[in-house]
Amino acid sequence: MKKTRIGIVGASGRMGRMLIEATLKDEAAQLAAVFDQPGSPALGRDAAELAGMPASGVLVSADLPAGLADCDCLIDFTRPEGTLRHLELCEQAGVAMVIGTTGMDAAAKARIAEAAQRIPVVFAPNMAVGVNLVFKLLDTAARILAGGYDVEIVEAHHRMKVDAPSGTALRMGEVVAQALGRDLSECAVYGREGHTGERDGQTIGFATVRGGDIVGDHTVMFCGLGERVEISHKASSRMPYALGSLRASHFLAGRKPGLFDMQDVLGLR
């Protein structure tokens, strides 16, 4: 069996270490290269040791252009500015890319779509299989509960997360809005304070919690008269994101250029 040769950026980060562990445990994957930023204390160390595993022989490097020559796919969960630099290098090397980075603005998303004309890319706000199942459930729920139900989305993450609402929460809002025939940019309400007046039934509300080491909790509430339907996903570790990313990497193996998301990877379209 030909293994998918995986490259990982952000080796010293929490997600990077989880990706290293998941890749080493995946019989269909080969850890081909691991990268971190110049000056990182992780440089030169065995990648597996960062994940608390026996030595793999793959050393952490800052030389992305050289390391990509050994990769079929690069997995990136860094920051938008770094991800876009890595995307350009993947284009030049003809290497597929799985992007789990959140906080992308419209220009960054357009740049990813442009690159996907030359290399295959999976770009999704959340790589966890369970979360992507929730997206499908939300579409169904919104269509059934289209009248008389107010929609509120509550998300919670660790204190180190730098963007809000989370990319997953925003995607949940987009799924619901689309099912209801609304434009999220016009109907979203981000937080409430003071004398707000009665709630507009056409809006979709967002509430954000940041604290401690919460990995990621998301709940969408459809609030009607006399009942409330809640669809939730709670992550207790980052492993679901790593496992979903590997699934996306295998999906891209040998695929022609194009822009895909986890709904494509899981066959939920």
Q: What is the pLDDT of residues 64-79, one digit of tens each?
A: 999 999 999 999 999 9
Averaged pLDDT score across all residues of the chain: 96
Structure tokens at 100: 């789990």
CA distance 141 to 229: 9
pTM for this entry:
0.85
Residue 263 confidence class, pLDDT cut points 50, 70, 90: very high
Angle between helices 239-252 and 129-144 (to 10 degrees): 90
Write the pLDDT tens digit of every residue in 124-138. Answer: 988 999 999 999 999
Decide: residue 162, CB within 10 A, 0-12 exposed, 13-18 middle, 19+ buried.
Answer: exposed
Nearest Cα neighbor of 171 from 236, 97, 163 is 163
Residues 6+ apart with CB under 8 A from 106: none
Catalogue all structural domains in the chain, each as residue range(s) with its CATH number: 4-123+238-265 (3.40.50.720), 129-235 (3.30.360.10)
- What is the pLDDT averaged over residues 106-121? 98
Q: Tokens for 232?
A: 């939730």
- As given in the structure block, the two tokens for residue 258 are 């194009």
Left if phi > 0, otherwise alpha if psi is -120 to 50, otherwise beta: which for 188?
beta
B/e letters for 85-114, b = 16+ CB within 10 Å, e = fewer, are ebbeebbebebbbbbbbbbbeeebeebbee
For 170-225, what is each residue's pLDDT tens digit?
999 999 999 999 999 999 999 999 999 999 999 999 999 999 999 999 999 999 99
For the annotated catalytic residues, the residue numbers are 157, 161
pLDDT at 146: 95
